[in-house]
Amino acid sequence: MKGSTLVLGVIGMDVHAVGNKILEYAFNHAGFNVINLGVMVSQEEFISAAVETAAEAIIVSSLYGHGQLDCRGLRSKCIEAGIGNILLYVGGNLVVGKTSFPEVERTFKNMGFDRVYPPGASPEQAIIDLRNDLWLREEDIHGRSKEQMPNH
C-alpha cells in the first residue's frame, strides 16, 4: 500500500487549486506516489495518467458544483480503457443546490465511485479509506484475512 500510485486532480472547468495541493501533500506524506494533474482535468486525462502509471486509484476533486456532470461516465470509460477495477474516489462541493449529502453520495456510488466525500472532509479519512480499500484488494488477490489488516 505504501508506494501505491494515485492520480489526483480537479475535474472539468474547476480551477480550485488549494485543496488539490493539500490533498497532494497529505497523500505524499502518507507514503503514496501521487501523480497530480492539477486543475481543469478531463476524464480522458485522468484515465491516460492512470493507465500510464499503473495507478491503483483516481482521486477526483470538484468544488464548483458541477462534479456530477463532469464525472458522469467515468467508470464506463475506465472499463473501456482496461482499468475498470481502479478505485474511484470523489470529493468536494459536487452538486449545485441544497441536495443532502446522503443523496449526493448515493448518486455518485451509482455512477461507480467507491468513496464519496462531502465538502470539508479531512484528507486523513481518505487516507484511512484508501489504505483499507487497497488492503482489501490485496486480500482478495493474496488471500489475506481481515485480522491481518494493519492498524492505521
- Domain hosting 104: range is 5-148
Q: Which of 16, 66, 114, 129 is catalytic?
A: 16
CATH of the domain at 10: 3.40.50.280
User: How many independent structural domains does the chain possess?
Assistant: 1
Distance (Å, whole) CA 115 – CA 119: 13
- Mean pLDDT, rounded, for 1-12: 90
Angle of helix 18-29 relative to helix 123-142, nearest 10 degrees? Answer: 50
Residue 152: pLDDT band (50, 70, 90) is very low
Q: What is the pLDDT of residues 72-82, one digit of tens each?
A: 999 999 999 99
Q: What is residue 57's three-state secondary structure?
A: strand
Entry pTM: 0.90
152 catalytically annotated: no
Q: What is the pLDDT of residues 107-143, one digit of tens each?
A: 999 999 999 999 999 999 999 999 999 999 876 654 5
Instruction: Identify each DSSP E strand in 15-113 by its residue range.
Output: 33-36, 57-62, 87-92
Q: Which grid coordinates are listed for 59?
A: 482521486
> What confidence score (pLDDT) does residue 138 get?
78
Q: What CA–CA distances, in Å, run from 102 to 78, 105, 106?
A: 25, 5, 6
